[in-house]
Structure 1
Amino acid sequence: MKDYLQETMECLGNYKECETKLEAKKAFLNRLKENREKRDREVGIKSITYDEIPVKTNKITSKVELIAIKNIQMELDLEEEIDSLQYYLTRINLIMMDLKEEWRQVLELKYIEGYTWEYVSRKTGLSESTCRRYAKDGAKAFADKIKGEESYIDLPLFKYIYIDKVEQA
């Protein structure tokens, strides 16, 4: 259980980084779409929109069409990454809302915001040992909600499969 708790705390620690990645990916996707629309207006040619990726055939296609298909695929991949990050962050938020207020406050300050135990202790008005105990209890409750019957996939595994793997590709 200790390894699982450690992974859960690392997931909470990566929350801000995932939020930043999400915003950056959204901004990049918006720039790609705006640039495509701008180029279409400049040239006077309306771009082709694909509801799905075109089927590969033996037909010879132009380089422009290949570039357009590659750009559309890049947009689709970005949208998929954005959906994965949003789902991941939403899951963390929903689980955090179900925790006791004291536990949630300590977990947010220590792992999500990254403050020291001393600062967390001062901010909450609790002793450092109580804060550490609340963090441990909160992390256990968090892990139980992830592993429990209410959930069908555990968060560290989800992060590894859907977020870390996407970034390696």
Structure 2
Amino acid sequence: QVYKLPAISLRLFNVYGPRSRTTGAYGAVFGVFLAQKLNGKPFTVVGDGTQTRDFTYVTDVAQAFIAGAESSVTGEAMNVGSGHHYSVNYLVELLGGDAIYIPKRPGEPDCTFAETTRIIKKLNWTPKVSFEEGVQTMLGCIENWRDAPVWDPTSIGQATSAWFKYLGRS
């Protein structure tokens, strides 16, 4: 606003795709689960698995950025998401495997859900990849996670300690 530059802000919701990260406190659940699946380990679900996420496939996110770059819209903040939310238990079901459950992390939201009305109206953008289709694509690329660290309840607990730092707790 100070320099009168045309800009928009895109808020991304749970982006996943063939190179999803697997490390750090915010390592995406897909990368963690796929590495576990490759190694014959059960999926480590943080919480009871009923928490839901608005999973958004990476190509849909890329198209949102293109739509934003090509538009004359400025000064707007818009959510980039599927407009649907799915439970972690449903993801486990789609991936096919057993799960073990560990306590929920502090600050872990019960639900993320993108209200996408603004981006649909302003940029004429809608996501194209269904959650089920995206999961199948991820399973087709599962070898990408061959060298990913295999998380277990202990390593997830250690990574969770970083959450306290970000939340201002010791």
- With the length of structure 1 as denominator, give the TM-score of the two structures: 0.25
Report the structure, 1 or 2, having the larger helix content. 1
Report the structure, 1 or 2, having the larger strand content. 2
Max radius of gyration: which structure? 1
